[in-house]
Copies of this chain bind each other. A is one copy, B any other.
């Protein structure tokens, strides 16, 4: 995300004095709630989906992810790179290629 988009997310919370509600636990709950609303776009039919609805629900997930990064003072590149390193080790290309099996069943 661009710096100005992230700033817009932060200003939205600040202007409304909502930081008081943004405990890490409340933001984690919010993330699940929004992710489930995104899943609802695929509840009964996985092929015919409403892309405009998906755009809104995915944006909600991304906004709450940013809120949680901010709340905990985390750097997105740092945590994602650390996790990708774990993933790369758990799923070596030669074993995982073309397989959807979990790492402990490869």
Please report A residues at the B interface, Cβ cutoff 8 Å: 1-2, 5, 8-9, 12, 15-18, 20-21, 23-26, 28-33, 35-46, 49, 51, 54-56, 58-63, 65, 68-69, 72, 74, 76-77, 79-84, 86-88, 91, 93, 96-98, 100
Partner of A32, one of B20, B32, B84, B93: B32
In the bound complex, do residue A5 and residue B40 qualify as a contact, i.e. CB atoms below 8 Å apart? no
User: In the bound complex, how far is the Cα of B21 from the Cα of A68, in angstroms?
Assistant: 25
In the bound complex, do residue A31 and residue B100 qualify as a contact, i.e. CB atoms below 8 Å apart? no
**Residue in chain B with minimal CB distance to A88:** B12
Give this chain's copy count: 4
Closest chain B CB from A62 CB (angstroms): 6
Closest chain B CB from A41 CB (angstroms): 7
**Which residues from chain B contact A96 at a C-beta distance below 8 Å?**
16, 18
